[in-house]
Structure 1
């Protein structure tokens, strides 16, 4: 049972319900994280705005790899399930690649470096070493892309924290088959 409650459907204003309907249309269902966030429409709007903005950064598989690696590092079971679902069903990632991303690697050398860097970023609270930066640069990332990696990791960190505090119930299709 979640520790933070979602509002009753009758208590959701029309604008917030419209946002939830758009999410449901995109995913095929309204993930419980978003219905929980509907208790504070401003927080929901912030999270959706940030997620919409990071969709413009890097390619989708790299964004998914970062989200999976960060969610694993933070022990966010809900985000691991949701990002696993999104990565598989909307992002075209195989189950094997999803598992590799969770462990901070990938079969693609560039994504392997970004997964490891994202986990280092979280584990060091942003205090990555010069060596960490050198490794990510060696595989071809330039400074504006490193900023994008950090931004994606921090947005993922925000939803990890919201879901960890709430202990959001994993309502994601196939979540009972996902690694945690």
Structure 2
């Protein structure tokens, strides 16, 4: 399948996207297709890359990278985003998750009670369009998360909705090892 928007290359990158794509390339050792699609808009690329950096860059969020990737695969599976499922499964492995941990996270589950609570909350946000209750937030506190971490979980979900929608809406070709959706 061909992407519905061009995947910019080094020769046709908008000037406002060049430096950011160089940073993406430096971080990944390659320029993933998703970023090449988003680079059509320097503003959108800046927003996406800034969001990634704020949550996972140096001095970034307090949620461990492994949990962020587990949230990402759960959200990707719910949104039928093959691109994000593949990318975040690979990134989760890089963050120390086992194949079994990533597979169960994809289903929104975990043997670890805190991770299970975070995944339940993330999927509630997606499925209920942000409509969660006092009890849902209290369950995260009871699982050991502080308010900053709870807000970060919502930020991870929001970032993943952005990336899922980019990849699904624009049919961005997957350039990570494929992972089968559960649905």
Give the corresponding residue for 1:73: 78
Give the corresponding residue for 1:35: 36
Hey, what's the Cα distance between the residues in 1 that align with 2:156 and 2:150? 10
Alpha-carbon RMSD: 1.6
Structure 1's 148 and 8: CA in aligned 2 closer, same or farther, altered over 3 A? closer
Shift in Å at residue 14 of structure 1?
A: 5.4
Determine if the alignment matches structure 1 residue 170 to structure 2 residue 171.
no
Structure 1 window deviating more from structure 2 (35-44 vs 123-132): it is 123-132
Determine if the alignment matches structure 1 residue 26 to structure 2 residue 27.
yes
Shift in Å at residue 165 of structure 1?
A: 0.8
Give the corresponding residue for 1:102: 106
Give the corresponding residue for 1:160: 164
In the alignment, is the contact (CA less than 8 A) between 2:9 and 2:36 conserved in 1?
no
**Pick aligned residue for 1:118 from 122, 135, 138:** 122
Shift in Å at residue 135 of structure 1?
A: 2.2
Shift in Å at residue 142 of structure 1?
A: 2.5
Query: What are the superposed Cα offsets for residues 85-124 of structure 1, whole Å, 9 maximum, x if unpaired?
Result: 11113x1211111111111112221111101110111100
Shift in Å at residue 64 of structure 1?
A: 1.1
Shift in Å at residue 3 of structure 1?
A: 1.5
**Pick aligned residue for 2:90 from 76, 79, 85:** 85
**Pick aligned residue for 2:143 from 133, 139, 143:** 139
Question: 5+ residue gaps in structure 2?
Answer: none
Structure 1 window deviating more from structure 2 (134-143 vs 103-112): it is 134-143
Hey, what's the Cα distance between the residues in 1 that align with 2:14 and 2:79? 32
Shift in Å at residue 127 of structure 1?
A: 0.5
Query: What are the superposed Cα offsets for residues 37-74 of structure 1, whole Å, 9 maximum, x if unpaired?
Result: 11111111110001101112211111111111111111
Alignment coverage as a number of residue pairs:
176
TM-score normalised to the size of structure 2?
A: 0.88
TM-score normalised to the size of structure 1?
A: 0.90
Question: 5+ residue gaps in structure 1?
Answer: none
